[in-house]
Amino acid sequence: MTIANRQRRVLVRRARLEDFVVRARRTLHLGADSFSICFVTDAEMTRWNRAYRGKNRPTDVLSFPADEPAEGKKERRSKALPGSYLGDIAIAPAVALRNSRKFGRTLDDELRILILHGMLHLIGYDHESDMGQMDRREQRLRRALGLG
């Protein structure tokens, strides 16, 4: 697992997140090198959000699957084989910090929630089209992983 930090605006304590990533990855039965996480600037996130989602503003998290599902197939969960690389998760810590204040959470917890959310996208969940399945799974995992 790789965690990179390409921004300087918000202090990200990677060591505090690494333990969570290991626990979440094991809970989801994902390999140690099945994805990477990169903390990026708002400007970089805005460019990607505009390019991939048509929204001209930064977002908190984006997932970039290594392999998109076949045409007409809504999920790729069955393709998440042990040892396979699923993709990359980009997180904008400045957006996460604003959201943590808005929702009354610590920044560390907000970052953990975003990492989990990104992981679920990489294994094929899509809250924009799945009739609540991703949200229900995420809530169960949050409780199991101590995120309430």
- The tens digit of pLDDT for each residue in 36-79 reads 999 999 999 999 999 999 999 999 999 999 976 544 334 444 44
Mean pLDDT of 110-120: 98
Domains assigned to the chain: 2-144 (3.40.390.30)
Q: State the DSSP code for 78.
A: G
2, 51 from 118: Cα distances, Å: 14, 18
**In the predicted model, what is the mean pLDDT of the chain?**
90
**Torsion angles phi and psi, residue 144, rounded to 5:** -60, -30
The pTM assigned to this predicted structure is 0.90
Amino acid at 49: N
1 pLDDT tier (thresholds 50, 70, 90)? confident
